[in-house]
Amino acid sequence: MTIEAAPYSDSRRARAHRAWKSAETIKGLSDRLIGVGPFGIGLDGVLSWVPVVGPLYSLGAGGLLLMHAVSGGASMLTLMRMAAYVAMDTATDAVPIAGSVVDMMFPGHLMAAKALQKDIEARHGLPDDVAMKRAPKKRAKAGKR
């Protein structure tokens, strides 16, 4: 009895889609827990006011995003862009008070996550469940039952 393995491209696509969903979770927690229009605040902004904890969270969440990007097969350009966003976001924590204000306003994890998601969408498309949610709803024509 032999067990057939899934085609290589399917496993690569599945890993990429898991990375896409993980990026969605991280960007929501880090920069969009509370959103008002185009602005939002998350754990990264709140924790930036706590010495040591803020930079550790920022670096950890950024590192996790980069790890998912590597496992999802993101391009080198995307990885470098993500690393730059995370580095800028984490570096702002080094400046007392003003750095925390800047960190609250700079959504570095959100930008890094969007870069990863855009890369994955270009290579593998949206995850199926996300694509279904985003698909336009068909309206029933008036007068038909």
pLDDT tens-digit series, residues 78-109: 999 999 999 999 888 778 888 888 888 899 99
Q: Tell me, what's the pLDDT at 2?
A: 47
Residue type at 110 in one-letter notation: L
What is the value of pTM for the model shown? 0.83
Rg (Cα) of the chain, in Å, rounded?
A: 19
- Range 109-123 average pLDDT: 96
Contacts of 27 (CB under 8 A, 6+ apart): 107, 109, 110, 112, 113, 114
